[in-house]
Amino acid sequence: MPLFRDEEYLKVDFDEKQEKDEALWVKCKSCGKLIFKKKLQENNHICPNCGAYFFLTAKERIKTLIDTESFVDETKRIESDDPLEFTDLKTYKERLEEAQKETEMFDSIIVGKGEVDEHPLVIAVMDFRFIGGSMGSVVGEQIASGIELAAEEELPFVLISSSGGARMQEGLLSLMQMVKTTSTREILTEKQLPFISVMTYPTTAGVEASIASLGDITLAEKGALIGFAGRKVIEETIGEELPANFQSSDFAYEQGIVDAVVDRDNLRSELAKVLEFF
């Protein structure tokens, strides 16, 4: 499943050194203006000048959505054991170590309990910095156990996707996580608990073609990339250029794939509004 690397038509910026960088200023990739970092943080990581969305880490996303001090980390203390002993130009082990160091995460997802405007829930948030937010055995297990936690405590489950798809380095086992998460999701149906899927930049390939597309309610963050196959692959196959808005959040909305497109600033209140019905 192709990871999406083509970011041209999206106004989402991913500043790799955001966390470690000591600099006080950061340059907006969309308008080129220097922005005071603190100001950017206060503004939900949206450029105050041009409105471009900066990439959110899982931790930052949780901060923007969950009521202060209500969050309890429930991420299982597990990591990949490199089942295929996969090597491309680099070993998978090296990639994992680097990603763990950079993100201070076990893998590309954080799961926890918390409240959104006083609505309790279980939330799972993916982090694109960690090998493209890809889903391997660990992510599959974290989503499955997050769903089970929600079921146990009779809470709604919210997934914030930011993933290029299944993780190639774990081969067939990654493909099977599509089935594992989908199968576990059934527990919520049986217990009549809502599953709200929030698609952000990017929600594609194996993640889009499984758990992320199985929400009772599906929201897309403005600027999200939503689709199964990669833009380049499609263009090569059909021999024509695709329109600029193809697979964008607005495209997904027009095609009836998502229920609403929500500005980042409004995502918290929108989630609260939806949860209020259940």
Residues from 129 through 148 that contact other proteins (CB under 8 A):
136-138, 140-141, 144
By the rule CB under 5 A, 43 interacts with Zn ion? no
Residues from 19 through 78 that contact other proteins (CB under 8 A):
77-78
Give the other-Cβ count within 10 Å of 28's Cβ: 21
By the rule CB under 8 A, 114 interacts with other proteins? no
Closest CA to 53 of 128, 119, 148, 113: 128
**Nearer to other proteins (CB atom), residue 2 or residue 120:** 2
Report the partner that residue 225 touches, choosing among Zn ion, other proteins, none (CB closer than 5 to 8 A by kind). none
Segment (H or E) for 124: strand 119-126
By the rule CB under 8 A, 272 interacts with other proteins? no
Closest CA to 178 of 163, 160, 196: 163
Stretch touching other proteins by CB under 8 A, among 30-38, 46-54, 57-65, 166-174: 166-174
By the rule CB under 8 A, 255 interacts with other proteins? yes
Report the distance separating Cα 196 and Cα 220, nearest Å: 11
Q: How far is the CB of 179 from other proteins (least distance, A)?
A: 5
Report the partner that residue 96 touches, choosing among other proteins, Zn ion, none (CB closer than 5 to 8 A by kind). none
Report the partner that residue 34 touches, choosing among Zn ion, other proteins, none (CB closer than 5 to 8 A by kind). none
Report the distance separating Cα 235 and Cα 242, nearest Å: 7
**Nearer to other proteins (CB atom), residue 173 or residue 272:** 173
- Please work out, in degrees rounded to the nearest 5, the angle formed at the alpha carbon of residue 212 by the alpha carbons of 209 and 216: 120
Closest CA to 66 of 32, 110, 104, 4: 110
Report the distance separating Cα 30 and Cα 116, nearest Å: 30
Q: Is 260 exposed, middle or buried (0-12, 13-18, 19+ CB in 10 A)?
A: middle
By the rule CB under 8 A, 244 interacts with other proteins? no
Which residue(s) pair with 30 in the sheet?
A: none
Residues from 193 through 212 that contact other proteins (CB under 8 A):
204-206, 208-212
By the rule CB under 8 A, 79 interacts with other proteins? yes
By the rule CB under 5 A, 110 interacts with Zn ion? no
Out of 42, 81, 94, 154, the only residue in the binding site for other proteins (CB under 8 A) is: 81
| Residue whose token pair is 């996707």 | 161
Report the partner that residue 31 touches, choosing among Zn ion, other proteins, none (CB closer than 5 to 8 A by kind). Zn ion
Closest CA to 68 of 21, 104, 114: 114
Size of the site for other proteins (CB under 8 A): 67
Closest CA to 99 of 79, 128, 75, 129: 129
By the rule CB under 5 A, 50 interacts with Zn ion? yes
Report the partner that residue 146 touches, choosing among other proteins, Zn ion, none (CB closer than 5 to 8 A by kind). none
Report the partner that residue 50 touches, choosing among Zn ion, other proteins, none (CB closer than 5 to 8 A by kind). Zn ion
Binding site for Zn ion (CB under 5 A): 28, 30-31, 47, 49-50, 52
